Structures are given as C-alpha cells and as structure tokens.
Structure 1
C-alpha cells in the first residue's frame, strides 16, 4: 500500500480504502461471472478441452495459488505457506477458455490444496451429482487425491499408456496454470 501511495502521491490509508471498496465491488459481482456450467456448457467445455489437450470428458481444471498478504494479527503462523511467506491459498477451477467456474478464497496459506478441495461446496456437489464419467471430470495435479470426478496424473508411470495419460493430462490441465498467469 505504501509503494502504491508513494507512486500515485496519496496516503497509504487512502490506498487501503480504495482497495477495500474495489474488492467489495468485485466480490458483489462475482456470481454474475463465476458460475458452474450448465449441461449444454459442459458439453462445449468437454469438446474444447479435448480439442486443446486430447483428454476426454473434462469440464474443468483445478489448482491453488498463493496470494501474498501482510502478516495478519491473529493466527499468523497458519498463514505462512510452504515457501515461507504469508498468503491466502486460493483454489480455482477454470474451463477450457480459462474462465473461472469456481473459486474458494478463504483458507490460510499453510492449508494444502487437497484439504481445501475436500472441504469445499464444489466437492460436495460433485460427490453427489457425479454418477459416471460422462458427467464430466476435473483434472488436478498430484497434490490432489484421485476421486471418481477428479483425475490426477500417475506419480511413477510404469506403462506406455500411463505416459500417454500423463501427457494428455498435462497438456489439458495447463489451462489452469495459464489462467493464474
């Protein structure tokens, strides 16, 4: 805040108020832009992911990213992530166009991606709604637990088809990495 204030020539508290107002305005609009896809949209997403990476049936790719924050005054150690800085671990799912379809942004930096997924409403929704592969798959990295709706790569592939799976998985899942930037 201090650097921004110095650069623009305004007080740090003014920068803080502006950031707070903009953040609240964006959050109030999030439901208009971040929404789980309809059945028709899922079909389009599956085709798009297949065209992009060769992995069939994918409706989203999931990952977490750490958003750096100032050290909080309460429960400070839980916000220190594995890289040693204070953060919020933000979990997101994106579609084949890099549009967010789900975001969870409330966990301290020390919390593992797989725990955030396990505790999320989207996990509960997918657990109940996912009856078969045709319902769609989410691709995650090896930090996630493989589930009926969440595919992760083979850790140590031993067969050629494991390698092909991992190659298609990586080509398809990189969409979330690009979305985060």
Structure 2
C-alpha cells in the first residue's frame, strides 16, 4: 500500500509498465549514471500522483530538477502516443460489448440501452504565454476543457483533451470523432447520457429541464442516478492522479499529453484492479450534474432529439412501466 500511495501502481503494475514502454524510454547509449527505464517510470508516476512539484521528485529519486523535466517529457510522450492510447482507451464496437455495457448500466437505475456516460471537466493550468484569454473558463481560471466518456466499470472509453477552457462542452463534442461516429449510425439503438449542456440527440439523452409529469420525473431520476457514474469516475481519475487537481505548470500542449497519459494509466489500473489509496468511490467535487445548468449554459431545443427523449420516457418510465424509477 505504501508503494501504491506513492506511485499509484503496485510493484507488479510498475513491472508491467516497464515491459510495455521500456523500449521507448531506455537510454540509447551506455553512459555513466544513465537513468534506467524503471527509474523514469517511477519519477513520472510520482509526479502524476502528487501534483506538479518536480522538486519533490528530484529529491526522492536523487536526480536534478532538469533531469526530472526531461524524464517527464519522454515518458509522457510515450504514454500519450496513438499506439498506446488505442491499446487502452477503446470505444465499444461489437454487439456483445454494447449489450454488456447496457445491462450493467440498466442495473444502476433501470435506464435501458446506455453504453456510456459523458461529461466535461476542467484541468487547471498556468496562464500560457500565447492566446492566454482563450484558456479562461467560465469560473475565471485558466484550464483545458476535457471531454471524457466512461463505461459502467469506470473505465475511460473516449477522451478529448485539446481544447482551451473557454470552449464549451457542446462544441468539444461537435468537433470530436465521437460525434461523427454516432451521427454515422454507430451503435444504433444504444445511446450516451449527458447533462443539459449537451444537445439532445437520438444517441445522446439529456434530462428534462422542467419535467411536467410523473413519467418525465421518473425519467429524470433514473437519468440522474445513472449519469452520476461519470462524476464518480472523474473523481476517481483526479484522486488517483493529483496532478489533475491543481494548476499544471506546463505549456497547454504538454498538459494535454499529461491528461491523456493519466487516462491511459487509469485504465491500466482498472484492468489490474489496483485500488486508489484504499477508497475507489469518490465524487468529483469540481463537476456535478447541475453545474452547467447552474451557470445558465444550456443548449437550444433540438426537435428530433427531444421527440426521441419523449419516446424513451413514455416507453420505459410511464406509470405502468416496470422501468419506472421510484
């Protein structure tokens, strides 16, 4: 547990990472005092676990701060590379995967046919030297806007980390590959759940802003309870990697790589059942289901999406339906 508290990985997990990325970070020449692949992994995990205090890493591992900086760059570049990301962050593509996810989600609050829950979160950054104003989010702090989708097992199945903090969640979604995927008919008959900051779609169900009857209230209750998983999952991600909680003192492009690397490592921890400092069930205190609504940010009506939401509510959450969430 002491190793997990310090590095967020157990010893077997650290050895696994060494096998996974060791070739990409091993020194190319044999010179005196060269840092081994394992040392580089430990330095990087310590930084990601405790936050942007590189001096602590240099003291703990007896290397200079510039060396820590170079190590972080090399390891995070590998962890955020397309080959590694595709290996560990995968959106479902097969019918059996759709059914497995939907049944698991349905077991939470009886909401059917859900394969993922989506939300946006902000990762704080130091004010950048260029285009500083576009990184200021609605709370007045500099950040990167991150879109993340989780499956019912708290694993990340899609992440977009490349937009400045002023960009709204709906635009991040609209410009993403995920949007194109679903608009093209992927997973027809299944859908994501999102908050009121997203547009209503046949594949993206949002809550009623002002439910008018028991059916809509039942829909909203089930939606809220089911979608809460994304808040807990973001909380787990940030609790596991403390660097995501504070203000990251790197250029925005490097911050985006750090975020993606943390997402990859989070999924590896999930696959290997490595706990988060003991407690795996933490809410994300910075993101809640009503946050965007409370800020007055909501999407204009989408007639087709709203009609489909009405259909889902009437089919599964009417008073005489067995799916009614009481």
CA contact (8 A) 1:4 1:15 kept: no
Aligned match for 1:98, one of 154, 157, 162: 154
Q: Which residue of 2 aligns with 1:6?
A: 55
Per-residue deviation at 1:16? 3.0
The 3 A distance-change label for structure 1 pair 86 and 158 is same
The two structures, once aligned, show a CA RMSD in angstroms of 1.9
1:161 aligns with 2:204: no
- What per-residue deviation string (whole Å, max 9, x for no partner) do you get for residues 1-59 of structure 1? 89623334365443433332232122121111111112211110000000122110001
Q: 1:1-181 to 2 correspondence within 5 Å?
A: 4-8=53-57, 9=59, 11-28=64-81, 29-37=84-92, 38-130=94-186, 132=188, 134=189, 136-181=190-235
Following the alignment from structure 1 to structure 2, what is the Cα–Cα distance between the partners of residues 85 and 11? 31
Shift of 1:131: 8.0
Uncovered stretches (5+) of structure 2, i.e. residues with no partner: 1-46, 236-326
What is the distance in 2 between the residues matched to 1:90 and 1:61? 14
For these two proteins, the number of residue pairs brought into alignment is: 179
Contact 1:80 1:109 in 2 (8 A): yes
For residues 79-115 of structure 1, the C-alpha deviation after alignment (integer angstroms, 9 at most, x for no partner) is 1111111111010111111111111110000000011
Please give the alpha-carbon distance, in whole angstroms, between the structure 2 residues aligned to 1:59 and 1:3.
34
* Whole-angstrom CA distance in 1 between matches of 2:105 and 2:192: 11
Greater CA radius of gyration, 1 or 2?
2
Decide whether the 8 Å contact of 1:53 with 1:172 is kept in 2: yes
TM-score (norm 2): 0.52
Query: Hey, what's the Cα distance between the residues in 1 that align with 2:160 and 2:52?
Result: 28
Deviation at 1:69, TM superposition (A): 1.3
Alpha-carbon distance in 2 for matches of 1:163, 1:55 = 13
Task: Classify the secondary structure of the residue corresponding to 1:36.
Answer: coil
